[in-house]
């Protein structure tokens, strides 16, 4: 790509600034965290489900990410990680050049906002970043389906559903499981920072296939691993490590998790699973439906979770709503 002198100078300044700035991790003071949290509470999540469509608002997403800086290092589909782009001069310059071309503002001192730096790195060619559940979308779901009860998030991930539960005012107790040590620490930090919220939080560093809540649960709701699409860590407790084939993963992780949901759910309780077909597993949704049927759940409804916008509309993923039945 050929640049005019001004564009070339602009790129060089942005590159020097990015190196001086360091990796643009999300970072908030405690007061700023409270402000971001309040934005979720003030978002219109009570009307966040229109028909069967769950709307997506970005309020609180940066807040969630701020507790999990290791998410930049997660491997997705064997593609480049965001951290790989930042650590490579050539890749970083290419990413910055693209961002400048499409609207990334650069000041006279080479300053580029953290948001623009993050976008440059996340959207660089050949990069796939790990995803997070939008806190406002989670609040909308809890508001409609939790009924002030006890919920179990079987695969907590990066705090979007925990923060959404805290903001919703519709959850009495949030039980969460995740086997990744760094993710567990981030979840515990969220619990600490928002301990003043009237909601009990119980986070457990264990896989959902090896855990059953000690009390009856009103709602099981999560977005589990999409088999080995996202390698959250190299710990042996990760489901893609423990169960390296699809058959082993379905039986050892997914089916066992659903059995544990069945055991803890109240009669007629709901299990909600956000999962979708991916290139490496094109029939994942079908297998999830089959495992739920074998686990004595019936399909009750399907929500459509709005994701990124595409030409002419939006991309969606299903949230399957299963109801516990009598054996």
Tens digit of pLDDT for each residue in 123-175? 999 999 999 999 999 999 999 999 999 999 999 999 999 999 999 999 999 99
Residue 47 lies in a domain: no
Does residue 110 sit in the same domain as residue 202?
A: no
What pLDDT score does 177 carry? 98
In the predicted model, what is the mean pLDDT of the chain?
A: 93
Does residue 179 sit in the same domain as residue 268?
A: yes
Write out the residue range of the structural domain in which residue 166 sits: 135-324
Domains in the chain, number: 2
Does residue 118 sit in the same domain as residue 157?
A: no
Burial of 58 per CB tally in 10 Å (0-12, 13-18, 19+): exposed
Residue 60 lies in a domain: no
Residue 63 lies in a domain: no
Does residue 152 sit in the same domain as residue 180?
A: yes
Spatial separation of the C-alpha atoms in residues 53 and 50, rounded to whole Å: 5
Spatial separation of the C-alpha atoms in residues 253 and 276, rounded to whole Å: 17
Does residue 94 sit in the same domain as residue 157?
A: no
Q: How many CB atoms lie within 10 A of CB 206?
A: 13
Spatial separation of the C-alpha atoms in residues 20 and 28, rounded to whole Å: 20
Which residue reads 């070339």 in tokens?
8
Does residue 202 sit in the same domain as residue 272?
A: yes
Longest dimension (CA), the chain: 72
**pLDDT for residue 5 is more than 60:** no
Burial of 304 per CB tally in 10 Å (0-12, 13-18, 19+): middle
Spatial separation of the C-alpha atoms in residues 198 and 305, rounded to whole Å: 28
Confidence of residue 13 (pLDDT cuts 50, 70, 90): confident
What pLDDT score does 108 carry? 63
Spatial separation of the C-alpha atoms in residues 303 and 148, rounded to whole Å: 21
- For 265, the 3-state DSSP assignment is strand
What pLDDT score does 46 carry? 86
β-pairing, 265-274 with 217-222? Answer: parallel
Q: Give the residue from 122, 156, 177 where a domain finishes.
A: 122
Does residue 118 sit in the same domain as residue 175?
A: no
What pLDDT score does 44 carry? 84
Please name the helix (run of DSSP H) or strand (run of DSSP E) that holds residue 204, with its range, or none.
strand 200-204
The pTM for the full model equals: 0.95
Does residue 179 sit in the same domain as residue 315?
A: yes
Contact residues for 48 (Cβ-Cβ < 8 A; gap 6+): 54, 55, 57, 136, 137, 139, 140, 143
What pLDDT score does 302 carry? 98
- For 3, the 3-state DSSP assignment is coil
Q: For residues 137 and 54, is the Cβ–Cβ distance under 8 A?
A: yes
**pLDDT for residue 87 is more than 90:** yes
Residue 117 lies in a domain: yes
Please name the helix (run of DSSP H) or strand (run of DSSP E) that holds residue 260, with its range, or none.
helix 256-264
Q: How many CB atoms lie within 10 A of CB 200?
A: 12
Does residue 107 sit in the same domain as residue 189?
A: no
Does residue 174 sit in the same domain as residue 93?
A: no
Average pLDDT over residues 48-65: 95
Does residue 139 sit in the same domain as residue 90?
A: no
Does residue 172 sit in the same domain as residue 300?
A: yes
Q: Give the residue from 122, 149, 173 where a domain finishes.
A: 122
β-pairing, 297-310 with 53-54? Answer: parallel
Q: For residues 54 and 319, is the Cβ–Cβ distance under 8 A?
A: yes
């Amino acid at each position: 790509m050929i640049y005019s002198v001004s564009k070339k100078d602009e790129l060089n300044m942005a590159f020097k600034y990015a190196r001086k700035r360091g990796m643009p991790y999300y970072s908030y003071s405690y007061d700023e965290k409270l402000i971001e949290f309040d934005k979720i509470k003030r978002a219109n999540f009570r009307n966040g489900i229109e028909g069967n469509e769950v709307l997506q608002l970005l309020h609180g997403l940066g807040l969630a990410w701020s507790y999990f800086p290791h998410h930049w290092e997660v491997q997705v589909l064997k593609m480049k990680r965001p951290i790989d782009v930042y650590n490579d001069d050539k890749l970083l310059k290419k990413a910055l050049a693209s961002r400048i071309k499409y609207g990334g503002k650069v000041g006279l001192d080479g300053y580029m906002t953290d948001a623009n730096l993050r976008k440059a790195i996340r959207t660089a060619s050949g990069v796939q970043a790990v995803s997070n559940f939008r806190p406002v979308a989670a609040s909308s779901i809890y508001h409609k389906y939790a009924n002030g009860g006890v919920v179990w998030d079987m695969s907590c991930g990066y705090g979007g559903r925990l923060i959404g539960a805290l903001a919703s005012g519709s959850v009495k107790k949030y039980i969460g499981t995740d086997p990744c040590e760094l993710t567990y620490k981030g979840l515990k930090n969220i619990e600490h920072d928002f301990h003043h919220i009237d909601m009990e939080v119980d986070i457990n560093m264990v896989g959902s296939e090896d855990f059953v809540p000690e009390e009856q649960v009103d709602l099981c709701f999560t977005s589990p691993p999409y088999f080995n699409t996202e390698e959250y860590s190299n710990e042996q407790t990760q489901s893609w490590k423990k169960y390296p084939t699809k058959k082993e993963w379905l039986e050892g992780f997914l089916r066992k998790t659903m059995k544990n949901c069945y055991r803890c759910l109240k009669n007629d309780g709901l299990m909600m699973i956000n999962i979708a077909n991916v290139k490496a597993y094109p029939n994942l949704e079908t297998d999830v439906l089959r495992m739920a049927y074998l686990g004595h759940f019936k399909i009750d409804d399907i929500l459509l979770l709005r994701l990124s916008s595409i030409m002419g509309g939006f991309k969606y993923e299903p949230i399957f709503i299963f109801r516990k039945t009598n054996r």
